[in-house]
Structure 1
Amino acid sequence: MGPRLAVVAGEASGDLLGAAVVRALRAAYPDLVVEGVGGPRLAAEGLASIFPLERLAVNGLVEPLGRLPELLARRRSLARRFTTDPPDLFLGIDAPDFNLGLAARLRNNGVPTAQLVSPSVWAWRPHRVRGIARAVDRVFCLLPFEPGFYTEHGVTAEFVGHPLAEELAAPPTRAAARKELGLSAAAPVLALLPGSRAGEVARLLPDFLATVALLRERLPGLEVVLPAASPERAAQLTPRLDGSGVQLVRGSAHLAMAAADSVLVASGTATLEAALLGRPMVVAYRMHPLSYRILRRMLRVSHVALPNL
């Protein structure tokens, strides 16, 4: 058996990052064995899934409380599994509140650990860096200024960039993307991306659809396309889009944004995709009111959209 990588990705963006990591590692280690938690992209790279990524896809401060017993039980189960049969490396991808606790337990039992995607310690709750130092051997950072922050606190960190920069190096033209999606070559097109998590979609979609209705009063020929981030999101979205005139597509968000003149998008990785594609965007987010009040007091930065950081 080849080297074993245990990986836990908590959402669609982590699935994208994890797939890029596995592809690169497999070029050096063809017999690499990968197990853990991920989505369809990691599965396509050979991940042996322990449970669906959807079970971890929750964020915010208040929002996870309703699922806390399940999340803690799943983390304990993974800790037992990887302690009993240790991998050569545990890689947590984003989802820091879940992954760092798991990494700390594994590291205490001699498992090498790393975190891909730095928690936003420079933006809020900077004291978390002490826990990160205890939990992981190395942090792989997506933003170039992050390693300096960690170095100041004695944590080994490395800037690795984002695989989207390579993946979108040669995007489809607007005309080609519209042809593939069956959109008009001449009409104005708006792409809607209300998030990859069920809670995000539930909170943002009503406002996004209300925005579409207002825009259509001014632009009667407006065409709107919404890429579903996963089969689960497609099932959630289908009944909610009935009669809206919004075209639901299952597959590449890149294609939908490439086809669009502009993008209305939930804050997250999709904002980086829109920026790399050169599409103007309006970034929105909605969370539990209590989470918002707490975060507003704790934030140390004035911007939240990834391209603005």
Structure 2
Amino acid sequence: MTLQRVYLVAGELSGDILGAGLMRALKVRHPHVEFRGIGGPRMIAEGMQSRFPLETLSVMGLVEVIKHLPELVSVRRTLRREALAWQPDIMVGIDAPDFTLGLERQLRRAGIKTAHYVSPSVWAWRQGRVKGIAQSVDGMLTLLPFEADFYREHQVPVAFVGHPLADELPLENDRLATRQVLGLEPDAPVLAILPGSRSNEIRFLGRTFLSAAEQLCQRHAMLRVLIPAATAQRHAEIQTLLDDYPALASRVHLLDGQAREAMVASDAVLLASGTAALEAMLCHRAMLVAYKMAPATHWIAKRMVKTQWVSLPNLIAQQSMVPELIQEAATPNAIANQLDELLTDHDARSELEARFAALHKTLQRDASRRATEAITAIAAGQPLEIQDAR
């Protein structure tokens, strides 16, 4: 089957990255394919006709979603109407499951094939959602192997496609060369701080992270701190916070993007949980995951989450490789103490970097090509039998 029209709906910057890679692979397999839906700058550059800005779906937390619910309902209604009028061969939701799965269910009921790319954390909490997912999608595409096992157990059509970041990032990287590009001293200790790509994350984590950095700079006279800002808006928000930390002025390099370069150049990374933790693992860098959210959101989440860990490196390895400090535990002093250990223990860092490199190999599967094969099979009503590229 040759695909002519694919309706894509992505949420957040990570979804835009995945969507752009998928679009490139789809165009190789289906040269005349057209794309509509919601995407960010990368997807638009690949030919997406985006109906709404990507930020429309970038709402964090259970409580925060409720505040934006009327707008989100209106957006989903518009997308449903336009997709039905366009009649795509398949609709693919990319992450943002609370939004996209509902749209997928509506379109599937109307006779349009649907797929979901990036499994929600149904294996971690609210496992009963798998019944609704089975009604929403003709196929689930997972980035991680343990996720596919969960769906097979619940008889949901699934394909483990691997993670595009694992394909994109090299198994070897050059810390010193990257430091030279960023204008850093080759021998100085370097800490990368990634507080998140959403405004709420900067609000909840920004001052905590900067206070921890301030403590570390007092302990390490040569420490340099890299803070990549995901967007121009995040750059302005972080700069406003930095104005309250004059002692950091000569130590902090606030970057426009360049998150990957910051991680590769670093000795250790401080970050919020999410895709950034996976990327740090694929850059083979020691890290600390610290996260805060609205108190009401945390109260609800901690009663529902069933996994021992929140960070992807620990979940993939099914063991505690990366320290995690969540909510009240994520104090500036606790963060500084954990990072101090990472910065001073060279042997431990080297061992962790080697373990991350081994995990990196297991996730390299030519993911965008495999996702394209899965989507083509789903649109044609065929079983999900994806050939391993390795």
The aligned counterpart of 1:50 is 51
State the partner residue of 2:202. 201
Distance in 2, Cα, partners of 1:252 & 1:32: 31
What corresponds to 2:285 in structure 1?
Answer: 279
Letter of the 1:240 counterpart? L
Change (3 A) 1:263 1:175: same
- Partner of residue 180, structure 1: 181
Q: 1:149 to 1:196 in 2, by over 3 A?
A: same
Q: CA RMSD in A?
A: 1.5
* Aligned-residue offset at 1:169: 1.7
Q: Is the 8 A contact 1:101 1:135 kept in 2?
A: yes
Residue number in structure 2 paired with 1:70: 71
SS at match of 2:62: coil
Alignment partners' CA distance in 1, 2:38 and 2:175 = 35
Number of aligned residue pairs: give it. Answer: 309
SS of residue in 2 equivalent to 1:178:
helix
**Secondary structure of the equivalent of 1:15?**
helix
The equivalent of 1:237 in structure 2 is 238
> What are structure 2's unaligned runs of at least 5 residues?
316-390
2:3 and 2:89 in contact (8 A); partners too:
no
In structure 2, the partner of 1:61 is 62
> Within 5 A, what are the aligned runs for 1:161-172?
161-169=162-170, 172=173
Q: Which residue of 2 aligns with 1:155?
A: 156
Report the AA paired with residue 259 of structure 2: A
Q: Which residue of 2 aligns with 1:80?
A: 81
Give the Cα separation in 1 of the matches to 2:304 and 2:143: 22
1:307 is matched with which residue: 313, 316, 336? 313
How far has the Cα of 1:135 moved from its partner?
Answer: 0.6
1:76-225 to structure 2, matched below 5 A, reads 76-169=77-170, 172-225=173-226
Q: Aligned residue for 1:34?
A: 35
- State TM-score, norm by structure 1: 0.96
Say if 1:2 and 1:155 are closer, same or farther in 2 by CA, change over 3 A. closer
Q: In 1, distance between residues paired with 2:242 and 2:56?
A: 24
Q: Is the 8 A contact 1:125 1:298 kept in 2?
A: yes
CA gap of 1:151–1:172, structure 2 versus 1, over 3 A, is closer
Q: 2:320 aligns to what?
A: none
2:176 counterpart SS class: helix
Aligned to 2:322: none
C-alpha distance in 1 between matches for 2:8 and 2:67 = 25
Asked if the contact 2:5/2:90 (under 8 Å) is kept, the reply is yes
TM-score, normalized by length of structure 2?
A: 0.76
Q: Which has the higher contact order (CA 8 A, sep 6+)?
A: 2
- Cα distance in 2, alignment partners of residues 187 and 43 from structure 1: 39
Q: For residues 159 and 68 of structure 2, what CA distance do their matches in structure 1 show?
A: 33
State the partner residue of 2:332: none
Whether contact under 8 Å (1:15, 1:41) holds in the other structure is yes
Greater fraction of residues in helix: 2
Distance 1:252 1:92 in 2: 27
Aligned partners of 1:39, 1:171: CA distance in 2, in Å? Answer: 29
| Bigger shift: residues 107-116 or 170-179 | 170-179
Question: More displaced, 39-48 or 188-197?
Answer: 39-48
Q: Secondary structure at the match of 2:285?
A: coil
d(CA) in 2 for partners of 1:145, 1:303: 14
TM alignment of 1:247-262, pairs within 5 A? 247-262=253-268
3-state SS of 1:298 partner? coil
Contact conserved, 1:172 with 1:255, CA < 8 A, in 2? no
Distance in 2, matches of 1:179 and 1:301, equals: 40
SS at match of 1:227: strand
Structure of larger gyration radius = 2
1:78-127 deviation line (CA, Å, top 9, x unaligned): 11111122211111111100000011111111111100111111110000
Q: Which amino acid aligns with 1:229?
A: A
SS of the residue corresponding to residue 263 of structure 1 reads strand
Q: Deviations along 1:55-89, whole A, 9 cap, x unmatched?
A: 11112111212211111111111111111222111
CA contact (8 A) 2:173 2:283 kept: no
Cα distance in 1 for residues equivalent to 2:219 and 2:40: 39
CA contact (8 A) 1:106 1:113 kept: yes
SS of alignment partner, residue 62 of structure 1: helix
Identity fraction in percent: 51
